Structure 1
Amino acid sequence: MKNFARIEWMHWAVERRLEILGEAAGQVSNAFQLSHPDIPWKEIKGIRLVLAHRYGDVNLHQLWQTLQRDVPDLLPKLDALIPPVESS
């Protein structure tokens, strides 16, 4: 956390990636979201709103906790939803 807080470009990069993830989640249909209740769609979209619109200062400790606790669990679940690319 100490290095993360000191390296400004690093937390900007994490913020931006979470914004992109939230924006993408907002493009997912309600039907698809309902068929995958193990994905925290509302929370993903919510963090994007906070980061994109700066509702108060971004709490670096909370950002770090999200990165360490939530993202590692979430990414494999999202990866599993992406259909494999067929090679020709």
Structure 2
Amino acid sequence: MMAREFRHALGDMLDAIAGIERSVAGKTLADYQSDWLLKHAVQRAIEIISEASRALPDDVKELRPEIPWPQVRTIGNVLRHEYHGLSDRIIWGVVVDELPALKIAVAALNEKFKTH
């Protein structure tokens, strides 16, 4: 496996997660619902995470089986094509409940495959 071919995707995922974390720090679901720019920024960052996850080889994803990789992969499509059906509460739930574990997993993979 050629690590450099997917390392950029791990970095992109970490950057997007960090951007979401900074943007929602101290915010509530109500803040999110009432802030058009915040909503769209978070949704775009989730799309980036989703798209970047597609660049990760299966054997790399298998190193972190606690992550629901198929859902990570498909949420970008859902946001792009069925955005009207996704409630703010669902997206907020992803941010609050799913991203912390994803961040830990992606950071660990990034550490494992980075060049020294």
> TM tier, shorter chain?
0.7 to 0.9
**Structure 2 gaps, min length 5:** 1-28
Higher relative contact order (CA 8 A, sep 6+): 2
Note the residue ranges of structure 1 that are not aligned, 5 or more in a row.
none
Q: CA deviation at 1:76?
A: 1.3
Where does residue 53 of structure 2 map in the other structure? Answer: 25
Look up the SS of the partner of 1:28 in the other structure: coil
**Residue 8 (structure 1) aligns with:** 36
Greater helix percent: which structure? 2
Query: How much has 1:73 moved relative to structure 2?
Result: 1.9
CA distance in 1, matches of 2:115, 2:54: 23
Aligned residues: 86
Corresponding residue for 1:41?
69
* Structure 1 residues 21-78: Cα deviation after superposition (integer angstroms, max 9, x where no partner): 1101111112222333122210101211101222543310111111111111211111
RMSD: 1.6
Identity, in percent, stands at 24
